[in-house]
Structure 1
Amino acid sequence: MEYRFNDRVLFDADIGTLSPSDLSGEPIPISNPSKRLLLLLIDHYGMPINREVIFKKVWDDYGMISSNNNLNQCVSKLRRIIKVMGIDDELIATVPKLGFMLRREILVEFRQGGDEEFTLLSSTSESADMPYPLAVGDAELEMSADYDDEIDLEIDVEEEEHQPPDVETPISADKKRWGWGIICALAGFIFVLGIGTTMYTTNSFARQEVFLGKAGTCKVFMSTSTSSSVPGASLNQDMLSYVEQKKTVCRPDEYLLVVRSNQVRSFISGVNRMFFVRCTIVREHRIEFCSGMENDNSPLLL
């Protein structure tokens, strides 16, 4: 059996899909409870159906657990799909304090097979096996259209009415305390981590460069840690003389850097090592490339 709503949305009850009637989009499958709910609303087109009846016909009779939350999800999903397919008016109306109904304003047609013509469905039909009357006054049905978007609020209110007044507040307060505790713990961890990182990077690896002088065409600098003392005049002169003996030539964009470090220790205790490197300045990229200082007669100088 196929049903068509407002000549726009096609509901295939055999395979449980909703699709545009002009076949402009792919069919969207819906769950079995959603299919049974939609069929129940069609069977009572224009008439409100009590929630308890919906629970029984859609969930309980099939061995499934019924709840207001399950019903809410089915109705919300059907409304979203149908609205996306071009029906702006709500297909399923909420009847306050009672249940739901397929609105009389919606044009509903049906057909048995794909080759048959659609037949208009009457809105006066009512199922004979309902356990109690479903009809309500016309004035209340008119009001139901204004409550189509309040299904979530209505269900929440009904559930709160059945809860003891002294139970909800402690649970809510406990959740808030847990939430604030987690937020404070994360904030403290980030704060401590930031301080530790700052101290580690600024103190453990802090270095300074000192200009020793000029040897030939090369400017000579020395890089040492902030905790080390500045080299004396005698050591400065020895290093400049060493560079001059090697007849090292530097371009205008180059300089020599002496790295004083105890990270690579000598086999002789108490001896510091000096590493000589040639650095090239690339100003457009604000970076410097440094490599071992070499000449024609010797490899890397240490």
Structure 2
Amino acid sequence: MNYSHDYTIDEKYIFEQNSSLIYLKLDRSQNIELSKPASRLFGEIISLNLKKGIATRDELLTNVWEEYGLVGSNNNLNTYISEIRKKLEQIGIDPKSIVTVPKKGFRLDSHISIHESEIIDTENQYDEIIYSQKNIHI
């Protein structure tokens, strides 16, 4: 079986990290696309917030840039956070749901669910399986 790792945001939106898309759960045609670095960054922010409630700047710079052989900087980080917030607002998600924690990093004030979609044929039809949920309201 092939699995795609996606996230549900506020039970209304899907962030599909492999395609860099955020779309309405009930209408995939209503979507926005993040740049590849912004998609990696958003995925890492979600992942770290699910694990420990905050994504530190150092972790993000390492995991989003350095692990890909790139040089990260606070300027890069701030630029892509801004891109993500603008894109979230375009699709209808409150951009303030990414909260800057001064001198530390970022946290999410959204309900995030992790789910896997099992690919059942080549027409990209999916069976959704919710396997973990965590509220990130801090």
TM-score under structure 2 normalisation?
0.76
- C-alpha distance in 2 between matches for 1:41 and 1:3: 12
Correspondence for 2:6: 2
Number of matched residues? 124
Q: Identity of paired residues, percent?
A: 28
- C-alpha distance in 2 between matches for 1:82 and 1:32: 15
Deviation at 1:31, TM superposition (A): 2.0
Alpha-carbon displacement from aligned partner over 1:235-273 (angstroms, at most 9, x marks no partner): xxxxxxxxxxxxxxxxxxxxxxxxxxxxxxxxxxxxxxx
- C-alpha distance in 2 between matches for 1:73 and 1:50: 16
- C-alpha distance in 2 between matches for 1:3 and 1:76: 20
- C-alpha distance in 2 between matches for 1:64 and 1:111: 29
Correspondence for 1:13: 17
- C-alpha distance in 2 between matches for 1:24 and 1:36: 20
- Is residue 2:82 matched to residue 1:76? yes
Correspondence for 1:51: 57
- C-alpha distance in 2 between matches for 1:87 and 1:120: 21
Bigger Rg, which one: 1
Unaligned 5+ residue runs, structure 2? 118-125
Alpha-carbon displacement from aligned partner over 1:51-106 (angstroms, at most 9, x marks no partner): 12211110011111211221112111111111222223622110011111222xx1
Deviation at 1:26, TM superposition (A): 4.0
TM-score under structure 1 normalisation?
0.37
- Structure with the larger RCO, 1 or 2 (CA within 8 Å, 6+ apart): 2
Correspondence for 2:43: 39
User: Among residues 46, 52, 73, which one is paired with 1:67 in the alignment?
Assistant: 73
Unaligned 5+ residue runs, structure 1? 125-141, 143-302
Correspondence for 1:95: 101
Structure number having the greater strand percentage? 2
**Match of 1:50, as an amino acid?**
T
CA RMSD across the alignment: 2.4
- On the 8 A contact 1:8/1:87 being kept in 2, the answer is no
Deviation at 1:24, TM superposition (A): 6.1
